[in-house]
């Protein structure tokens, strides 16, 4: 029996991740380059002779964010069952490579940046400095409204 492993895959590039804006709850599509890179990542890392062996996957958890779901689709894992957000079953011509069940869960959703959603770190630090709040550390200070 193979040693159990966990793979964590971050969603592909969006306009906001490209320009450094904090993205949590805002639904943004992947950029064309982001889609291209995820397809390339799938080709490089997914396969029977690769790091991620679809036939050995047991369960797949995905964020409710569309960018994360698109990323999963573009990795081309070949799930037998329709993905929870899809209207139709995959076509009969799709090559099934995994029996893994896909579960959408808030437990791995992106941060809720609250009032900082869509802002760059430099802007947040500047706003905090102007209001006398001092330096910002997301781990210590969190995000107001988030």
> Which are the catalytic amino acids?
11, 110
Judge contact between 134 and 128, C-beta under 8 A. yes
The position carrying tokens 């550390």 is: 137
CA–CA gap between residue 138 and residue 143 (Å, rounded)? 7
Which residue pairs from 44-53 have beta carbons closer than 8 angstroms and sit at least 24 positions apart in sequence?
A: 46/75, 46/76, 46/77, 48/97, 51/7, 52/7, 52/77
């Amino acid at each position: 029996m193979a040693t159990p492993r966990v793979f964590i895959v971050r969603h592909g590039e969006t306009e906001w991740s490209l320009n450094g804006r904090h993205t949590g709850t805002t639904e943004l599509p992947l950029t064309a380059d982001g889609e291209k890179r995820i397809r390339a990542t799938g080709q490089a890392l997914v396969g029977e002779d690769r790091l991620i062996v679809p036939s050995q996957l047991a369960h797949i958890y995905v964020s409710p964010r569309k960018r994360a779901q698109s990323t999963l689709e573009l990795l081309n894992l070949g799930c037998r069952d329709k993905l929870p957000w899809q209207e139709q079953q995959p076509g009969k011509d799709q090559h099934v490579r995994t029996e893994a069940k896909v579960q959408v869960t808030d437990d791995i959703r992106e941060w809720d940046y609250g009032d900082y959603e869509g802002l760059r770190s430099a802007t947040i630090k500047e706003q905090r400095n102007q209001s006398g709040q001092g330096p910002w550390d997301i781990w210590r200070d969190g995000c107001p409204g988030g």
